[in-house]
Structures are given as structure tokens and as C-alpha cells.
Structure 1
Amino acid sequence: MAYNLQPLITILEGILDPGQPRWVVDENNPHLQSLLDKATSLQQLLDKSSLTKLDTQIREVAHRAEDIIESHMVDRMLSGSDCVIFTLSTPDLQQVTRDLDSLMEQAGKLVEMECKNMQRELDSAMEQVKLVEMEDKKMLSSSSSSSKSAVVVGIHEDLTQLKDRLTSMEKKREIVPIVGMGEIGKITLARKLYEDPLIVGHFDYRAWTTVSQDYNMRKILLNLLSCIIGKEECDQHMQKETHELKDVLRKNLFGRKYLIVLDDMWSTKFWDEMRMYFPDNNNGSRIVFTTRESDVANYADSSRSQHQVQLLSESESWNLLRQLVFGEEDCSPELQEIGEKISGVCGGLPLAISVIGGLLSKMERSKDVWKKLGDNVIAAISESDERCYSILSLSYNHLPNHLKPCFLYMGAYPEDYVIKGSRLVRLWVAEGFVKSNGERSLEEEAEDWLKSLVERNLFMVRNYKVNGKPMCYSMHDMLRDICIRKCGEDKFWYVKNGPKVTFSNPRRVSLDISNGMDDINGSTESVSLTRSVICIGRGRIEFPYGAFSTSRLLRVLDFTDMWFSEFPTEIFEFVNLRFLCVYCNSNIPRGISRLWNLQTLITNRHFDVPSELWQLSELRYLKVYGIELLKDEEMNYSVLKNLQMISARVAEDATTYLDGFLESIPNIKKLEIGYNLQVTSTVIDLSHLRKLEIFRCSYWRVLPFIEHYLYCHFKVIFPCNIKKLHLFRCGLHLEMLRSFSTLLKLEVLKLSGCIFISEENTSEEEENTSEEVWEVAEEDVFCSLQFLYLEGLDLVRWIADETNFPRLRHLRLYFCYNLEEIPNGIGEIPTLQLIEVEECTKSIVTSAERIVEEQSENGNYDLKLRISHTRDW
């Protein structure tokens, strides 16, 4: 790739920023500013061209500069001073500056030659990409709908046939194999089937896992159990042996109608090992698996025919490409002629067509640009037998420079790994990939980059939030193969248990330690210049003594889904860290303030957090569940201007210090506050937090030997930008409920275990005198609300109609044992897609069924109803 100098630029800008309190740069030392100017100029030159010939030289010079500067920074930080004078002026740094000068000169000449050698069309196309992306940033809400309704061509008949097989009257457990060559669309078909509303409502349990050639049985079992019993309960079985996990799976499936999807099954050995743990309950359970091998399908069940997925025809191929590029718009005859040639050489492979479509959708719709790309596609295929790899590589090669490292970052994760987009964004920021752009935050910029990778069909959206926006992402296995190859070529990741690599002292290390950490020290012998370590595995382990002890320049240390008995204090030596994720059974010890540069801290519940945490001025994301607000009246909260998320617990006698805490987080976007005492008169004023979008407040203290929970009663003054609101075990004044309708951007409202009270009832017995009625007045309109969740409320009557919730998409009722019925007018909401009823009375179920039936009679077949575990109260 054209090497990205942004990490070096980010480091230099951080040191030279006059607003930062840590570093004092000697005014007589001009080398840092000179280095920043040259790196910025070279990056701008690279961004304007497709130049790759100087990649190796640029990477080596940039890495050398980072090593010199960050080594000096670490030495200074470990000295213990709160404010350090940056005095670095070495011959090595001066040589780096001269090297950048030389590279600038060479790059300028090569770019000039590139223009003269008839590459103007490609440059024009790349400029068009940038223009389109700038326009995309102005479109605030198009991503979720466009991503979720991905274009699917040629599988409608397959879906119909498979849905019929899964929902047939046959009671015997049935095996349904989906067979086809690689990249033909088996996963897409299986995923569409798995997520179809008809299928979702037909089975008690659904579970999806990927098998693959070199499968890990323990990992597969944990994946299946996570889907069936939930991750929290699944974690309780982490210490069990594989044979014990199999028994847990069988017991949970026994007596239930289930759907299991086994993706990418290669051998009969796996089926032999697992078949007895999928019980035949004679209730219509189904097992779907995808495979390239017909023999595997026949072995699993030879009594029924396998479902063969065919290549797309030429007309289907062009239809898919046309829809990806033009949507509902018309395509000119001259572009159609070129487009049909491009789709034709893709060999009917949907993935190849989708990726090329994503690339064309970002380019200028001109004959010259399309012809240039078409020639490249045809040439790549004719020069290589690896048809699909050649096509997909073209899409990577045409990525803008700033997106290439973001694409390659997925190479750290195993096949079919699903990761939250918010986590990817924070990792990219910690790596220094993201450039500040005016008033927009780094995270907002990175979210647009993530959206762009999805639009180019390089990332897949795997899960959505309740408001319909993308939440989790993965990468197709063929694209991951390309990603891994490119990582090796560009020395981007060393992947333990991945392909063999020959480079030493890798910049980034990914370790899959699902089977333990016995060899972790052997994997980290030559990592003195490594910046990122991501360890992927599940289980409770001990932090290996001396692990990464030479990696003093680490920026990212991510232990995903792993648990330590003690907080590893060795981490406090990694003073260059920007991102730290570690879960353990102990409190965070003193010493955390040594991590000056820390931006993201993710760990589990800690009720004794040292006050020095507030000295970490660079913090952007703090997920330390239940931080106790400090009660020391002399404690002054430092202003954390970059902090965007925090979860805090208000201990007894600490409510008077809440205002000071809120004033210290002026740019917070997500705030969680939990009380462990009964509050009856607190006013939480959030009006000054103008960037706040998500707020959760809860009262979670449960006293022993009492029949009733206590509740937290308070009033909240909200800012206007609130999008998501979750109140748990709170007393709700009707006036506050009415105020929610004034939040014009509110998309998600969750009320869990709350009681409804009147203004005059504020005593300790108010739960016994609650009004039990929520009457939504005609003028109270929740104009943006898309998801409404009501759980465990004391509500008896709910009075509302379609005008109160004009954009509601999803209504979920859980354990509402007093509620008489759902307002009939709710069914008239034109956007409503799903009503979920779980652990509720039969009267609620009856009202929900009546609503759906009436809508069906009126021609509205889009409204779905999902019912589970009805109570006969």
C-alpha cells in the first residue's frame, strides 16, 4: 500500500500541541516541527497519487522516526516527572528529516512521470472517490438503511425453497445441507435464512457457528451455547472440559425446537463427533450447514436432497452489478455495455461482483473511467488463475490511503470473527490512523471510514442496534485471505497461528490463545519495537510473568474475552499505551496514572478506583463498570475534555459531589449513573452536556430479607441531543415521562422495573400508591422514537395511539404482568415492523394478536409478532 504516515504525524502533533500539559518543547529545537511539516507534505503528495514504488523506504523511515521519538518519550515518562521537557536532538532524528526530504523529491518525480504515462484517468477517479466521500458525510442517516437492505440477486427462489424445508410439518429432526463452490454465496443465503422473521418466530432457539477446516471444538461449543443460553450464563461454563460442554449443549437443546447453523463444514469427522449432541426431539428441529463438499452433505443425511447453490447467470450478474452501482436510477447504454463485460468476467461469483460494484459506486460515471477499470479487471484475471483473488485485490488497491490500514486491521482477528464497530473505531484512533478534521471528533471521522468500507462491500454488517443502525462487523473469508496476504506483504500484522511470516520485530502482533498461553513468551521474544498486541481467547488465565517485558513502546494491549485473577501491574510499565482492555477479579491498583497517554480503558466492575485515574487527561473512553464517585470533599475533578463514555456509581453521601463530576466531563456522549441508595429529591442537571446522546440511570441496591425493591426517585434535566434513554428501577413522575416527548432526537427508550408515581407521592411507600396508568396526551409526540422497551413495570393501563409514536419500528414488552393490553392504535403506526411479547399475560398476547390480525386484514403484511413464554396470571 502507499504507506500511511498518519501515525507519525499524530505523535508529532500531540507533542507540539500547545494545549497539552505534559510536554514542553525546547523552542531552540526546530527538528520536531520540521519533521512534522515534511511528513505532512509527503502524506499529502501520496494521497493525491496511486504511487506505491517507495512504500518500503517510506515505511522504514517513518518507523525509524517513531522509534526514536517514542523511545525518548518513554524514557522521560518513566523518570516520574509530571511535566517533561522534550529535548531530543540526535543525529538519527536529523538523518530521518534528511531522508524524508529525499523521499519527497523522489515521490515528486515519480508522480510527475505517473501523470505523463497516461494515468490521469485513475487519478481523476480517485479524486472523485474523495468528493463522493465528502458528500457522503453530509448524509446523516443513510448508512443503516442502505447497509441493512443489501442487494441480493438470484437467491429468492433458494430462500423460498429452504424456508419451506425448515418450516415443513415434518417432526423428525432434519439436516439441510447448502452446497456450493467457494465464494458462491452460501453464507449470504444461510444468513438471510437465519435472520428471516418467519424463521426467527418458528424456533425456540437459534444458534450459529463457523466450523472451518481446522476447527476448534471448544470454541464452537461456546459459540453455540452463547446463542442459546446467553453469553453471561455461558461464561459460567468456561472452566468445563470439552466433553462437559457437549453435555450442557445437549441438555439445553433437549425438548426444544431449535435451528442450528454450522457454517463452512469441511469434513465428516466433525459431524461424527457432534451428531449425538443435537437431540431429535420429534418437534421439527432443523440443522443447516454450508459446505463445499457434496460427500460431507451426503454423509450427514443421505435421505434428503442437498440444496445446491448455482453461479449467477450473465443477466443475474449484470443485474446485481447494476443495482449495486445505480440502485433505482437508470444506466446509460454506453456504461451498460462496459458494465456487462465487467460483470461477465467475474464468473458468476456474487462476492466478486459485489466488491467491484462497491468500487464502481464510488467512481465517476464516465465511459473513460469505467473502461479503465474494466481493462484492469480483465487484465488481472487473464494474468492469474486466481480469478476471485485478482478481482478482490483490485478493490483493495483502489482504496484511498487512509482506508488501507483500517481494512488491514481486520487481519488481526480469526475467520468469521465478529467485532463491534465502536471497538474498531477506538483501536484505529489509538493506533494514530485517524486525522483530526475541524470540529468533528476522531471517532466521528473513523465512523465515516467504517461506513465507507461497508459501502465498498469489504466489511459485512453482522448485527444491528435496536434503532436499526449497524453495530457489529465481520469480513468474508475470501476477503480475509486477501487481508492476511497484504498484511504479510506490508509487514502490518504478525498473526500467531496464521500464515508463516519471515519479518522480525513486527509492528503488530495478534495471538490466538484459545488453547492457553503456555507459549506466549516464545511468541513475544523479538517485540521490542512492537506497538500493538491483541490476544484473542476465552477463559480465566494468569498473566504470564515477563510477557511483553521488552515491548516498552506498546500503544495497544487488548485481552479480548479473557480474565485474570489479579490486575497485572506489569502493565504500568507500558507508559506509551493508548488502548488497554483487561478483565480481572481485583481492583485497579495505584499506578494507573503512569499511563499518561491512555485513551481507552476497558475493564470489569471495580468499586475502589484510585482517584489518580482522573489525572489521565487523554481519556476518551472509560468502561470501568461502576466507578464510585469520590466522596472526598477536597477532591477536585480534573476536566477530561476528551472523555466520551463513562459508567459511574453514586455511593452514599456522594450525591452532593455529583455536580462537580458532571462538570468535569463536558463532552461526554454516553453516561451511565447508578445509585446504591434510595434518592427522593435529587435533580440531575445534564443540560450543559450538549454532546450527550446516551443516558442510563439505575438503582441497583437490593437489601436482604425484604420483599420489595427500593427505587430511586429523581428528576432529570436533559440536553436536546439525547438519542437513547434507559431507566432501571426508577420512580417515574408523569411530568418527567411527558418531558421525554420533548426530546426531538430520542430514538430508543427503555423503561425497566420502574414505577409510575404522581407528584404528591414521594414518600417511601410511594410504590404502593403509584398511578399505574400511562396516558400519553395528544400533544405528547415522540417524533423520532424507533424502539420502545417496557420491562417489569407496575403499569396496568397504557393509553396511546399512532400519533404519539409516528416512527416506532419495534415494540418489546417483557414481564409486564399487570398490563391489561397494548393500545390498539399502536398497530396503525405505518413504520411498525415488530411486536415482541415475552413473559407476559395472555391478555397482552391476545391484544397483540388482534393488532397483527387487523393489520393483515387491511393489507399490512409487514408487521410481525414474536411471542415467547406466555404467563397464565
Structure 2
Amino acid sequence: MAESLLNVFLETLRDLLVEETKFLLGVGDDVEKVKGDLESIHALLMKADRDGRDSPTLKTYIHQLKDLAFKAENLLEKYFVEVQSKREGLRSLKDKFQRYTCIMCECYSVHEVGKEACDILPALDKLTKELKAELGQESSSSHLKQEDERQRQLRQTYAHEVEPHFVGMEEDIQILVSKMKDEKRQRVVKIYGMGGVGKTTLARKVYNHRDLQSYDRAWVCITQQFEHKAVLSKILKQLASNVEIDGLEVEDMVTRIHSILVESKCVIVIDDIWEDVHWEIIRKAFPVNCNVILTTRYENIANQQSEPHKLRFLPEDEGWALLQKVADFSPVDEIEDIGRQIVSKCEGLPLSICVIGGILRQKEHTLPEWRRVNENMESYLRHGEGVGEYTRVKQVLELSYNALPYYLKPCFLYLAGFSEDEEIDIKRLYLLWMAEGFISYQDKGPNETLRDVAQRYLIELAMRCMVQLREASIYTSCVKLDSCGLHDLMHDLCSSKADDEKFLRRTDVSKNLNGNLSGRRLALPQSVGNSVSRLVIIDDLVGDDVSIIDGLEKLKDLRSFLLQKHRFSNQLIAIKESTFNFEMSQCLRVFVAEGCSFEGNKLPNKVGELIHLRYLSLYFSEVSKLPKSICSLPYLQTLDLRVWRFIRLPNVIWKMKRLKHLFLVLNIKVIGRKKLRLDGLEELETLESIDSETACIADIPKLTRLQTLHVFVSDVDSMSIVVSNKNRQLREISLEVRSCDLSSEKGRTVLNDGLMSPSLVSLVFTKCNMSGSFPDYKQGMCQNLVTLELSYCKVDVMEFGKYPMLQYLVLSHLVMTETLICHSDSFPQLKKLHLLYLDDLKKWEVEEKAMPKLTFLRIDGCSNLENVPVRLRFISSLREMHFWVMPREFMERVKEEDYAPSVKIDRHFWSTKIDAYGSDEDGPGKGKRS
């Protein structure tokens, strides 16, 4: 619904009012009136969203309100920048005298704010009355009530229904039936998963299983329109058909159901439950020995009382078998390849396979017909062209969206800006959500940041089976998730809703490319127009550069502009000074120009005029100089300067008082030959990646809100400042030490202190003198260290096996002992091990129970190593081993070893997954895009 999306603007404006009201001298009463009207409208829209109200008239009001909210927000921010900035920093007598010359200008600014506020107030007042009237009219509409009842009946499920086409789930059925029969286990089982995955089908198979026919049974479908009295009444009727229900109060029904079930074996199915409070209301009717099966799309339902059973998507073979059944088709070799392609596009979702199977049932089973269906899958599943049953798919998926609370809907719709199948970096996603104003300050706890709130929002979307979370292969105590993604059909729903609500428009470069190879032009579709507030351009080309983008200069009033590179694209898009009209998009909150080549390799000076900007990213772009005007962005939260090669910076970043997240490329040059100042960044939470040679490391302890730090140091003093930081907010330090002499007494002390830091998660030493060994292990040392890399050093590596959280270890070009022994129980969490060019290493022994979680091994250039330890064959988690530039005798021995079929062994070529430094993927602290 449109009103749910507008709430994000009201939340943003409300947060701004809370933050800035104290500065609006002279217009305080008007501001409070605006604030009160907005809160009233906010309450109305929340109610409309909960009731599922929608109409063309209501959408018109929403668009009007969005415009008003934009105007109010921009007005307040502009006033703060122009007026409040003049009140700060008045210290000298000269400053105070100069202050009086600005009074008239300031009074004019206050007058302008008051004048515009007077324009906004009556509009808000009128809109409030119209909304109340519209929503009141809708609430009493019999037509809407009839539609609600019709939708409820369509979604109603029954225990006796027979699924005509059933494939798979045999193991799930057996597991759940055995749990129903087991008198010693927990009695509530929760089947959860994405809409259309087969939760109700599975519950029905268990409910009707022959082993449970003697049990007392009841089936009730709740849906979103929950009425607890009606639900309890249905259960009681099925358990005792002769009971007179009329006149019974809820308490009587609860008591009677309980008394029936406490003396018998039973199975109760609660199908399609949406809210935890619904379960809390009815669960009191069920005794502890009662078997209850809940089906839900929300993982968080009944968490304390239930045992979860997540329903998986169908694997390809089962999906192909289901398609054959639904299509009433016997397999033919020439059609099977096309059929499996169709199944693959359905991504294992039984509902979509059944819909396509129903289409194929009505067609001739010939290769041309199946090819035609395969080619038009997008239309069938996304747009529903010519597919009557498509409404079933759409309704099932839309239920999940409609059930989202208002604050999650914009977060979900924002995912339409990413490509299908893209692994979305969640750290970056959090920062974008925050910049857009989706994350409310009111949801922030006393010890939380907005990023913590954003993480809660994402986890809630995952619990509702709207997004799929992916755990990081190398994780820290604070960061266990790496990326997220959407099922293709959920991505289609997301994109469709974003288009309908004019929330966001995504354009793929490859679909809008004109010109020849010497002058490739990206032409924006005419449909983009000026009604789009968020424009996302995805550079999905793998080949030629795009020389020109046509149409950007005509866009007006954009709030967000994102030009992002696809993960496989390695070309640049040319951005000329005239390409983007900053004057027509003064209200920009997000400006992302990733993988771009700017004219003259310079960011235009006019960027500094975007005073409302929250997020600026130049990731992987060719920008060699940042304009000084960058410090004129008072609201900027995130600045990503991880450009392609190097960048020259004016020493003004320290003036950006509200900057929270700063990402730098390692190769920076500070204009003026001084080190980069950081001391004014009082709000900074993330700092990556700074170098002691170009940045003032002594400023780091002054950053009292810093939580994540990635730093390169080349001297003991700088290392000491980093590791001795007493900042309690600091959660993760990634430290890279280069060419540093740690053999002195001070060096050894600093190294000891560093290894005892609970914030240290990643540590890299290159060409450092450590007197031949690390400090002896003691309790508390490296308690959270997950990544350790050593290159061109002389060390004794035996102690590393005692580090409790170490997951990623790289040993390269070391001077070390001839024998490496991994003792029993050592390296308890190690997943990835790289042994690179260790000329001294001759023997490697692995004792029983060592490295129990090892998944990846790489050995390169260890010319004297005799063989791979025999014990590796017994590590069940091992999946990949790569050997490169090793002696022929060593390779022959490896070939003779008997490893499990699940272990991939690469003996001959350089794996494309591995970079030249020895990392098969980015571990913590690698400068990965956040």
C-alpha cells in the first residue's frame, strides 16, 4: 500500500524535528503544529496499513503528503545549515562583532522558514481531515468487508483436501510423524518457510498419516483475520461434535478443549498463523501432552514453546518429477533438458512449478511448445500474461508483503534496486537504509547504534521468509552474517511493488544500450520521467565501457541516485560534468557512482552543494582528486572513497561532524603534505582503511564512538596507539603491520598488549622482526582473533593452534622449523589454511582431533614438504585442497591418497578462486566493500 511507504518520510521528518527543533528559534510554535499534524496522520496511516485499506483516492492523498513531507524536511535542514552554522564557533571579539552583521540575514531566513511553514500547515490540516474522512468511509464500506471475507475464504484450508500432485517430503513426513508419536519430546512443532513452499501440504500429509488415525484430531486455518473465539470454537466442534457451542464463553471453550485433550492422544494443526500473539492467546487450551503442528511464514512464532522444522526448496530431481506429474507427461529425452531449465527457473518452489505444469498440461508435449513456455517464463510468473492460475502465485506471495509491519515495507522494497541472484552485502545495505531514513531513532536502544537497529530489521525480514540470509564463511563474535538475497519470485514481487508505488526504478545497462563499440551510450527509458524519487542503474556489462549516459541531466527532484557495478562487470562508465544536473536534484540523500570514470578524474565541485546528502560512494571509480567542497555536506553519514587507484584528499574531512562511516583506499595523498586529520569526527563509528604514513594515528583515541577500525601501521608507536585504545565502544580492530621492528623491549610489550586486546579480530604481519617467535600463549590471548597472516617473518608457529577463535591462517615465506606439528585439539575453529613458499618445512603432522572444522587447504611452493598428513583424510568437513608449484613426487603421493568424493583436489592449475596473495576470499579486515 502507498500509505505504508509514506510512513518512512514521516519517520525521517519526525527524527529530524526531534534533533533540530531546538535550533528553530522564532518558528517553534509552527514547528510544533507541523509535528502534531504529522503524528496524527502517522497514526491514521498505521491503522490503514493494519486494516489493509487501499483506494485510488487514498493513494492521491499519500502522494500529496509525500510532497509536503519532502518540503518540510528540506526546509528544516536548509534552515539549520544556513542559520545555525553561523551561530557556531564565535569565540573571538571580531567574530562577535561580525555576528551582528548577520542578524538581518538570519532574521530573513527565519522569516522564510515561518512563511513556508505557514504554507505547509493549512495543507497538512486539510489533508488530515480528508484522510480521516476517506478512512472512515472505507471502514464502513460493505464492499470492502465482502472482499475481505472473499479473500479469507480463498485462503481457508481443510484437512480433507487431497493434493493431487505430490513429490518429495518423504523424509519430512517420517520425521514429523515420529515426533507426534514420541511421548518424551517437546509437543509443539513449527513448520515454517516461504509462501508456496508446501507447508500446508506437509502438515496435511502428517495429519492424515495412517499411524495417527486413532488420535483425536483437529484442523484450523487462522489466516491474518484472527478471531480467537471462532478458532477455539472450530477446534472444540471437531473434538466433540455433540457439544453445544452457542453461549459458551472463551474461558469455557479453553477449559473444555483442555479437558478433552489431557486424557487422549491427539494432533492439532494450526495452519497459517501470522502473529506470536495469536499463538499466545490459544495455546492455553492445549495441555503439555498435546501434539500441535503450527504452519507459518514467520520463524519467530512460538519460539519458546516450539521445535522448528524449516521446509526446504525442492532439489532439481524432485522438481522435475513434480513438473511431469502436474503436466501429465511421460519423460522424453529431447524435452527433459528444457523441462529441467523450467524447473531451475522456479528455484525449487513447488507452487510455481505447479503453475507452469498446469500451463504445459494444456499444450502439446512437443519440443517447440516447451521451448516457448521456457522462453516466456518471466511473463508467466511475473506478469501473469495468459495465465489464469498466476493469481494464485501472486496472492500467496503478496500475503507475506501485506503482513509486513509498516517500518519493514520500505526496507523490503529497497531490495528491488539489486540484481536477481545478487549476494547483497548487508553492511552496505544497512548504511543505505540508514541514509534513506528507513531506520528509526525511536527503535534504538540505549547501547545501540542505528546499524544495530538495521540488523534487527533485516533479521525480522528473514524470519518472515522474505529474504534469505547467508552466514559469513569467516565470522567474528559481532558479525556472523555476510550477505542476503531474494528468491527469484520474491524479487519479482519486490520489483513489481516498487514499480507500482513509484518507490524505486531500476535500469540495467545491457537492456538500454545504444551505439557502436566506439561510442556506447546508455539511454534511460522515457518511462523513468520525473516521477521517480529513486533511480538505480546496474552496470551489468562484462565487455566494453559505456561512454555516455543520456537522460540523467533531465531528471528532477531525485532523492537517491545509485549507479552500481554488477559483481562480474570490470568496465567503467563515463561521467561527464554535464551528465548529471546537481542543481535539479538538490534534495539528493544518496549519491552512488561506483565503477565510473569522471571527466578529468575529478569529482564535480557542485557535489558540495548537495547539503541534504547522507551517503556518497565512489567505490572502484576513477577519481584522482576530491574537491574541498566535500566538507560542505553537513548531514553526510557515509563517505566511501575506495576508488580504483589513488586519490588526493584535501585535509578537510575532520570538519564533517556527522560523518559516521569513512572508507578510504590505502593509496591516498593528502594535499598540503600533512597527515590526514581525524580528530573532529566525533560521531565516527567505522574507519577503513587508514595508514600511519598518511593519517594521524594519534587522533584515533579521540574517536570515542568508533566501533570498527581497519588500520595499517609501520612503526611501534602507531601500533601502540591502536592496540592500547581504551574505547569501550570499539568492537573490531583489523591491524596490518608492515616492516616493523618488534624485537626491542618496547616492541615485545606492544605485541603482547595487542594480542590481549579483545577487539582484535584480524592481524597481518609483513616483513616484521619478531625475534623469531610470538609471545607464549596465556589465558585471554587472541580471544576473538579470527584471521592471522604472516609473510616474510621469522616465527615459531606452534602457539597459533591455541587461539580459540582462529578460522583463517596464512603462512607465507617464513623462516621456521623443519617440522610443523598440529597437536590434538589444536586449531579448534580453523576453516582455511594456506601454506605458501615455506622452504624450511619438510614434515607436517596432524594429530587426532586437530583442525576438526578445516574446509579449505592450499599448499604452494613448499618445495621440501614430503607429503600431506594422513589425518586429513579423516576430517569430515574438508572440501577443497589446492596444490601449486609442488614437486612431482609430492603430487604423486597426493594422487595415491584416498579422499572422500566430496573433497575437490586441484593439483595442476591456479584456481580462479584464489588471489596471488593467498586468499581464496576476503576475510575480515581485507577492505571488503561494506
What TM-score do you get using the length of structure 2 for normalisation? 0.59
The residue number in structure 2 matching 1:541 is: 574
1:567 correspondence with 2:603: yes
Do residues 776 (structure 1) and 803 (structure 2) align? no
- Read off the aligned partner of 2:536 and give its amino acid letter: S
Q: Distance in 2 between matches of 1:681 and 1:561?
A: 33
Kindly state the Cα deviation for residue 507 of structure 1 after the two structures are TM-superposed.
1.0
Q: Would you say the 8 A contact 2:41–2:128 is kept in 1?
A: no
Which residues of 2 match residues 713-752 of structure 1 at below 5 A?
A: 714-715=750-751, 716-717=753-754, 722=759, 724-729=761-766, 730-732=768-770, 738=777, 742-746=781-785, 748-752=786-790
Q: How far apart, CA to CA, are the structure 1 residues paired with 2:769 and 2:25?
A: 51
- Cα deviation for residue 486 of structure 1 reads 1.4
Q: Does 1:151 align with 2:312?
A: yes
Between the aligned partners of 2:776 and 2:64, the Cα distance in structure 1 is: 59
1:419 aligned to 421, 424, 428, which one?
424
Query: Aligned to 2:585, which of 524, 535, 551?
Result: 551
Q: How does 1:393-432 map to 2 (within 5 A)?
A: 393-432=398-437
Distance 1:507 1:634, change over 3 A: closer
Deviations 1:544-591 (A, max 9, x none): 415133111001111223233222222112121111112333132211
> 3-state DSSP class of the match of 1:402?
coil
Does 2:901 match 1:753?
Answer: no
1:443 to 451, 456, 463: 451
Contact 1:674 1:697 in 2 (8 A): yes
CA contact (8 A) 1:776 1:799 kept: no
Report sequence identity in percent: 17
* Whole-Å separation in 1 of the counterparts to 2:602 and 2:686: 27
Whether the 8 Å contact between 2:834 and 2:857 is mirrored in structure 1 is: yes
Give the conservation status (yes or no) of the 8 Å contact 2:61–2:131. Answer: no
Deviation, 1:623, is: 0.8
Measured in 1, the distance between the counterparts of 2:777 and 2:721 equals 17
The aligned counterpart of 1:505 is 531
Contact 1:7-1:432 within 8 A present in 2 as well: yes
Say if 2:661 is the partner of 1:617. Answer: no
Amino acid at match of 2:657: S
**Residue in structure 2 matched with residue 67 of structure 1 by the alignment:** 70
Residues 690 and 719 in structure 1, CA contact (< 8 A), matched pair in contact too: no
Q: Deviations over 1:803-823 (max 9, x none)?
A: 343333443434444344444
Q: Could you say which residue in structure 2 is the equivalent of 1:453?
A: 461
1:94 positional shift: 0.1
> Are residues 490 and 681 of structure 1, via their aligned partners in 2, closer, same or farther at CA, if it must alter by over 3 Å?
closer
Matches within 5 A, 1:342-381: none
After superposition, the Cα gap between the structure-2 partners of 1:150 and 1:72, relative to the gap in structure 1 and judged at 3 Å, is: same
Aligned position for 1:34 = 36
- 2:815 is matched by which residue type in structure 1? D
> In 2 relative to 1, CA 784–83 (structure 1 residues): closer, same or farther, beyond 3 Å?
farther
Cα deviation code 1:691-721 (max 9, x no counterpart): 433322224579xxxxxxxx99953547865
Distance 2:401 2:792 in 1: 51
Shift in Å, 1:799: 4.6
**1:6, 1:432 within 8 Å by CA — same for their partners in 2?**
no
Select which of 32, 44, 47 maps to 1:45. 47
Aligned to 1:232: none
**Maintained 8 Å contact 1:4/1:43:** no
Distance 2:719 2:877 in 1: 45
2:493 aligned partner: 482
2:789 and 2:782 map into 1 onto residues whose CA distance is 16
Superposition pairs for residues 768-807 of structure 1, below 5 Å? 770=794, 772-776=795-799, 781-796=802-817, 798-807=820-829
Q: Using CA pairs below 8 Å that are at least 6 residues apart, which structure has the higher relative contact order?
A: 1
Change in CA separation of 1:50 and 1:408 when aligned onto 2, cut-off 3 Å: same
Where in structure 2 are the equivalents of 1:230-245 lying within 5 Å?
none
Give the aligned partner of residue 242 of structure 1: none
Looking at structure 1, the residues matched to 39 and 718 of structure 2 have their Cα atoms a distance apart, in angstroms, of 58
Tell me the distance in 2 between the aligned counterparts of 1:727 and 1:489.
49
Separation in 1, partners of 2:595, 2:423:
13
Q: CA deviation at 1:45?
A: 3.4
* Distance in 2, Cα, partners of 1:525 & 1:623: 31
Query: Residue 249 of structure 1 aligns with which residue?
Result: none
> Could you say if the C-alpha distance between residues 683 and 666 of structure 1 is closer, same or farther in structure 2, counting changes exceeding 3 Å?
closer
Q: Distance in 2 between matches of 1:535 and 1:732?
A: 46
Task: Mark the CA change 1:819 to 1:801 in structure 2 (over 3 Å): closer, same or farther.
Answer: same
Alpha-carbon distance in structure 2 between the residues aligned to 1:727 and 1:578? 33
Inter-CA distance 447–504: structure 2 relative to 1 (3 Å threshold): same
Q: Which amino acid aligns with 1:511?
A: I
Conserved? CA contact 2:34–2:121, under 8 Å? no
1:128 aligns with 276
Q: Is the 8 A contact 1:531 1:554 kept in 2?
A: yes
536-545 or 460-469, larger mean C-alpha shift: 460-469
Q: Contact 1:670–1:694 (CA<8 Å) still a contact in 2? A: yes
Paired residues of 2:462 and 2:469 also in contact (CA < 8 A): yes
1:808 aligns with 2:830: yes
1:522 and 2:542 matched? no
Write out aligned runs for 1:303-314 (5 A).
Answer: none
Going from structure 1 to structure 2, the CA distance change for 1:731 and 1:422 (only over 3 Å counts) comes to farther
Counterpart residue type for residue 726 of structure 1:
L
Residue 494, structure 1, aligned to residue 505, structure 2: yes
Aligned counterparts of 2:719 and 2:407: Cα–Cα separation in 1: 51
Deviates more, 1:493-502 or 1:564-573: 493-502
Q: CA deviation at 1:27?
A: 3.4
Amino acid at match of 1:448: R
Equivalents in 2 of 1:402, 1:293: separation in Å? Answer: 49
CA contact (8 A) 1:524 1:547 kept: yes
Separation (CA, whole Å) in 2 of partners of 1:719 and 1:563: 44
Residue in structure 1 matching 2:339, options 180, 192, 195: 180
> SS of 1:585's equivalent?
coil
Does residue 94 of the first structure (1) align with residue 130 of the second (2)?
A: no
Residue type at the aligned position of 2:685: L
The whole-number CA distance in structure 1 between the counterparts of 2:594 and 2:880 is 36
Partner of 1:16: 17
Contact in 2 for aligned 1:687/1:719 (Cα 8 Å): no
The total of aligned residue pairs comes to: 642
| CA root-mean-square deviation | 5.1
**Cα displacement (A) at 1:454:** 3.8
Report if the CA contact (8 A) 1:384-1:390 is conserved: no
- Secondary structure, in 3 states, of the residue corresponding to 2:797? strand
SS of the residue aligned with 2:457?
Answer: helix
| 1:622 aligned counterpart, secondary structure | strand
Give me the whole-angstrom Cα distance separating, in 1, the residues matched to 2:630 and 2:876. 56
Match runs of 1:616-765 below 5 Å? 616-626=656-666, 637-651=679-693, 658-659=697-698, 661-676=699-714, 682=720, 684-699=722-737, 714-715=750-751, 716-717=753-754, 722=759, 724-729=761-766, 730-732=768-770, 738=777, 742-746=781-785, 748-753=786-791, 755=793
- Decide whether aligned partners of structure 1 residues 737 and 402 sit closer, same or farther in structure 2, where only a CA change above 3 A counts: farther
Tell me if structure 2 keeps the 8 A contact 1:126–1:400.
Answer: no
1:768-816 C-alpha deviation (Å, 9 max, x unpaired): xx4x322329xx8433333334344434354543434333344343444
Cα distance, 1:633 vs structure 2: 10
Please report the TM-score for the alignment, with normalisation by the length of structure 1: 0.62
What is the distance in 1 between the residues matched to 2:483 and 2:787? 21
Instruction: Compute the displacement of 1:183 (Å).
Output: 6.1
CA deviations 1:618-641 (Å, max 9, x no partner) are 222111123679997997812422
